[in-house]
A and B are shown apart, each in its own frame.
Chain A
Amino acid sequence: MEQSGQIKRRYRRRKKSVNEIVFMITLMAIPVLHFCVFWLFINFDSILLSFQRFDMQSGNWVWTGFSNYRELYNAYIMPNSVLPRAILNSLSVFLWNDFIILPISLFCAYMLYKKLPLHNAYKVIFFLPSIISVTVLTLSYSYMLNNFLPDLFSKLGLESLIPFDGYFADPDTAWWTVLIYGLWSGIGGNIVLISGAMARIPTEVLEAGKLDGLSLLGELWYVVIPLIGATLATLLLMGTSVIFSYFLQPKLLLGDAADTVGGYTIALYIVNNVRDNGTPQMAMGATIGVLCALVGTPIVLVTRKILDKAFPVYEY
């Protein structure tokens, strides 16, 4: 009798553990499959692809050793190459995002947080560009620089401020138009995130600061920034990813002349060479991707390490 009870208990336990295993497998299957297909396979295949070449006559991929890497190096060193400028531009977007757009966003968010006059109207003004499609926004921005500004400057007798080829086609102004567009369209999203973090700051802390005689800027520097450090660190870290992914804005604003006016980025180079040219250039896209990963991974890791030290997380 005792023995039969033990067998039943053991059977129930085993049944329970089988059910748990089935449950865990079901739970994990989709994320694991997703990881295997969309990360492991794609990245592994990209690495292999960077050592291959598409043979147009046979329609097969053939191994070519490091020739794609040599070809990329040649493309980099050849006269008139767009790659050196593309790398500089990509880095400038990172610096612009992290050291210009983010501080301005922080300052604006703080002003809104302090409920300065018309703060609700400003919230809408800042946020508007973030909810409109990038295609529409670039169109209206192009119209502003191609039509509105030249007309305005002409009427004011300031023709010398209008480049002959237009702001988008003058090498001295073309890249600045892209950066300023980034400032205009990017500030709203940052403000939303930073405002959300600021709203969580306990009022007691701010009142304590006031009692200690902190000025408005003192409060921002000594109280607000440290307490929203985690959000700022995340935004700063996200800024590193644009180095290798920023292409849509220069493509839409500068068109096919992006290379001529010094408006290329690394991502735009990949898009124009792979997407528009199909299969034969896929290997070159994979090669650039592998190199970007080699360069980008240490940048992201070091930035994260620095940010962890600069912005320790405070629980409140």
Chain B
Amino acid sequence: MKTKKIMAAVLSAVALFGTCFAAGCGGGGGGTSSGGDYGNVVFNERTGEMYLDTMEGKTPIKITYSAGNGEEWMRQWCRYFLESEEGKDYYMLLTVDEQATTSMSSRLEGGSNLDDIYYLLASPWQSYASLDQLENLDELYNTQIPGEEETILGKLTGTWKTYGQAYNQNELHYYIFPSSTPVTGIVYNKTMFDEYGWEVPETVTELQALCEQIVEDTDGKIAPFVYPGRVSGGYWDFIGTNWWLQVTGEEKMNEFMQFESPEVFNSDSIASPSYGKLTMLQTFEDLIVKNKERYIARMSGSYDHYQAQQAFGAGLAAMIPNGSWIQSESGEDIEDEIRMMETPLMEDALEDENGEPIRYNYSGQPSFAIIPKAAGNKEGAKAFLAFTCRDDMLQLYTELCGAPMPFDYDVDSLELNDFQQSCIDIWKNSITWFEDSRSPLWTGLKVRKFNSGDPYVNLIINYPGTTADSWCAAEYAGVKGAWDDWN
């Protein structure tokens, strides 16, 4: 009897521990307010309701977003919207949901209880548009921004001018709304660099010399790099695609993204955009892969992105492939000063007419906002999205998140911290590029930028069984073999 009681107590304790542990790991759900200042606007952290004076007689605008860049930006946007003339008839209902992107497809298919706006991470949204699940935003794009003379489309910059378009019933319309444009590349520990007197490298050759110096100066106790091996590509693509752009150029990369023939994957041809891919992977192989036991922190291959960022914060490595979001995501784990460096230049990087190297910023597949066609308050949602394009709202976002938005607005007058400033400086001095294609092979998910799986972690783990050359050759053979069936 006594044994049974002990067993029951042990089992209950374990079950309770498991439940608490699982709940602790859950993340999403309720707000974790930083206690921001919302003026006269009331924010109920528990329910996510936000209103000015009262909710009675007003219509809710329901917004779901993820907290990758923190939560304050959304709350502040909502606060200013509610205080404005445009927001006087509304109140906001905010939900933080880290799984919103992965569950969006089934939510849209369900079609009920949908929020009015979803802020999503990179995902195959073109199929949502094709299935007529998204609101047509053509009118919104041509709306004049409140308090300004420009339309939203007129104020947009770069690829975003057309990226939001997709086919529905054979017609091309805007279906998604732009979100931030991250800056990616190499984040480094400035405190550590200053302490040891290390210089920020300008070129890949200098980067290699720096890696050697780091190993030498610290007797191998600090690795040059740490990376998240459990995440697709190990974040190396934030360096890799920047290198690929440097040697191939924006124009050729866009030609690649049209996927007009399998030859765009032929890395043996100097004329092919994939020649730059091979060059980039060879550089990665020479620099990182061949020196992995000296240049990469032990156990990196088993880290997820949080663990890698924690290891970087703990000083196990001097650099990490990452982006402008690292401070919002893992700022608490990083006590040292950090900065973003311009991606070191490849030996055969393209130059402009003045002989200066052309700088690129690969922002990664972009995040965006959608309004579901079955949403309850589409007009309110559009009014809110238009409001967020005002100069002051864009500046507010950049100040809070340290990332620019793809609009034409002034970032020079902003008060940014040093890390944010280093990101904005890179953004200002470079051409931002990300994958954009209307090829049915791309939107139909038949071809990818790397069509034979992730090359970076594959090389790190399987070299010399897999090399840059063999990986590219396998990719080309695979695409060539399947091309006829895809078309």
Contacts and interface: CB of A to CB of B under 8 A. Distances in A.
Interface of A: 54-59, 67, 70-71, 74-75, 77-82, 120, 123-124, 128, 131-133, 135-136, 139, 142, 145-146, 150, 162, 164-171, 254-257, 259-261, 275-281
Interface string B216-256: 00000000000001111110000000000000000000000
Interface string B149-178: 000000000000000001111100000000
A120 B3 contact: yes
B294 to A, nearest CB: 11
Interface stretch (B204-212, B367-375, B385-393, B451-459): B451-459
B292 interface: yes
B414 interface: no
Contact of B452 (A79, A136, A277, A278): A79
A253 B234 CA distance: 16
A256 B478 contact: no
A115 to B, nearest CB: 12
A169 B303 CA distance: 9
Contact of B457 (A57, A123, A257): A257
A236 to B, nearest CB: 29
Interface residues of B, number: 64
Given A257-B231, A260-B453, 13 more contacts: A58-B170, A59-B132, A74-B485, A78-B474, A79-B478, A80-B458, A120-B7, A136-B18, A164-B299, A165-B460, A166-B303, A256-B231, A276-B102
Contacts of B304: 255
Nearest to B454: A260
Contacts of A74: 478, 481-482, 485
B326 to A, nearest CB: 19
Interface centre among B130, B233, B452 (most CB of A within 10 A): B130
Given A133-B22, A165-B461, A78 B302 contact: no
B452 A80 contact: yes
Interface string B110-140: 0000000000000110111011100000000
A166 B299 CA distance: 5
Contacts of A120: 3, 7
Contacts of A81: 478
B167 A57 contact: yes
B443 interface: yes
Given A59-B132, A139-B25, A279-B105, A169 B461 contact: yes
A80 B130 contact: no
Nearest to B473: A79
Contacts of B301: 164-166, 168-170, 257
18 contacts: A56-B444, A57-B130, A80-B471, A80-B475, A120-B3, A136-B22, A164-B298, A165-B229, A165-B301, A167-B302, A168-B301, A169-B230, A254-B230, A256-B454, A257-B301, A257-B454, A260-B458, A260-B461
A13 B324 CA distance: 82
A67 B298 contact: no
A178 to B, nearest CB: 13
A54 B10 contact: no
A138 B461 CA distance: 22
A75 B292 CA distance: 31
Contacts of B196: none
A260 B168 contact: no
B445 to A, nearest CB: 5
B11 interface: yes
Nearest to A154: B298
A150 B299 contact: yes
A256 B230 contact: yes
A253 B444 CA distance: 29
B15 interface: yes
B17 to A, nearest CB: 9
A260 B299 contact: no
B299 A146 contact: yes
A166 B466 CA distance: 19
A57 B440 contact: yes
The 9 closest A-B pairs by CB, nearest first: A169-B301, A165-B301, A166-B302, A255-B230, A79-B474, A78-B478, A256-B232, A74-B482, A59-B130
Interface in B343-402: none
B40 interface: no
A46 to B, nearest CB: 16
B486 interface: yes
B14 A131 contact: yes
A71 B482 contact: yes
A173 B367 CA distance: 36
A128 B14 CA distance: 8
Contacts of B411: none
Contacts of B126: 56
A56 B130 contact: yes
